[in-house]
Amino acid sequence: MEQYKRKEDCPLTFALTLIGSKWRLPIIWALWNGKILRYNELKRRIDGITNMVLSQSLREMENQGLILRKQYMEIPPRVEYSLTKDGEALIPSLESLAKWGKAMQNK
């Protein structure tokens, strides 16, 4: 593996800054399985997440280009969340990680 003089230059370190918090992977996984979800649907799929943490995580992930927030000008207002192409690009890696995790559980 390539060595980096500064940890900020390491692609793995950068990737972990995008997905490394406690709730990021469950949000990504829920959106992958649900495809397009409204806020409350998403919250119901992620056991234990608070409104504040979910709102903040969604905002940050939208700014990072991992999720898409689509707001409809209706009454009452409707907002839907989905993965962007960059967010979907994580899925094969997450599936591999899940497979590895399952193998480790069975040891």
Residue range 1-19: mean pLDDT, rounded: 77
User: What pLDDT digit, counting tens, does each position of 36-90 carry?
Assistant: 999 999 999 999 999 999 999 999 999 999 999 999 999 988 999 999 999 999 9
Please tell me the predicted confidence (pLDDT) of residue 63.
96
Distances (CA, A) of 69 to 34, 42, 64, 87, 105: 14, 13, 12, 13, 35
When computed from its CA atoms, the radius of gyration of the chain, rounded to whole angstroms, is 16
- Respond yes or no on whether the N-terminal peptide bond of residue 92 is cis (omega within 30° of 0): no
Half-sphere exposure of residue 32: CA atoms within 13 angstroms, side-chain side: 18
pTM above 0.95, yes or no: no
**Sheet containing strand 36-38, strands side by side:** 36-38, 78-83, 67-72
For 89, list phi and psi in degrees, rounded to 5: -65, -20
Domains of the chain: 23-105 (1.10.10.10)
